[in-house]
């Protein structure tokens, strides 16, 4: 007996149904966007991240003024990927597969994208 719905408390480890593909509000609004930001920063916008970091290292305290262009390019790149629906679905699949594996085994995975 649990206060949680069956899809969140059933399964082999009592952590939820591993085959459940529905998303809760917190997953949809916080966890999926977090994955999107991380992947966009690490895989899609790497040249802009690198340019911004180099500018900041060179500019020290004046980086706020001197690195506006690099910062704008980085933000634009991240925003483009954040609003890309195919990319969102890809990130949802990553999240749902990780959640399914956790529900099946009870072991949290430290994935390559987090490393």
pLDDT surpassing 80 at residue 26: yes
| 25 CB neighbour count, 10 Å cutoff | 7
Which is higher by pLDDT, 64 or 40? 40
pLDDT surpassing 60 at residue 72: yes
pLDDT tens column, 50-66: 999 999 999 888 888 99
The residue-averaged pLDDT of 2-21 equals 66
Let me know how long the chain is. Answer: 115
Give CA–CA dist 48/46, Å, rounded.
Answer: 5
Contact 39, 113 (CB under 8 A): yes
């Amino acid at each position: 007996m649990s206060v949680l719905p069956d899809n969140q408390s059933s399964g082999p480890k009592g952590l939820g149904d591993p085959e459940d593909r529905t998303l809760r509000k917190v997953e949809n609004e916080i966890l999926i966007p977090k994955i999107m930001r991380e992947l966009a920063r690490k895989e899609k916008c790497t040249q802009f991240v690198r340019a911004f970091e180099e500018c900041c290292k060179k500019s020290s305290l004046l980086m706020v003024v001197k690195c506006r262009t690099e910062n704008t390019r980085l933000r634009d790149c991240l925003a483009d990927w954040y609003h890309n629906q195919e990319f969102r679905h890809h990130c949802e699949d990553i999240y749902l597969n990780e959640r399914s594996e956790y529900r099946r085994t009870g072991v949290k995975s430290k994935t390559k994208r987090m490393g």
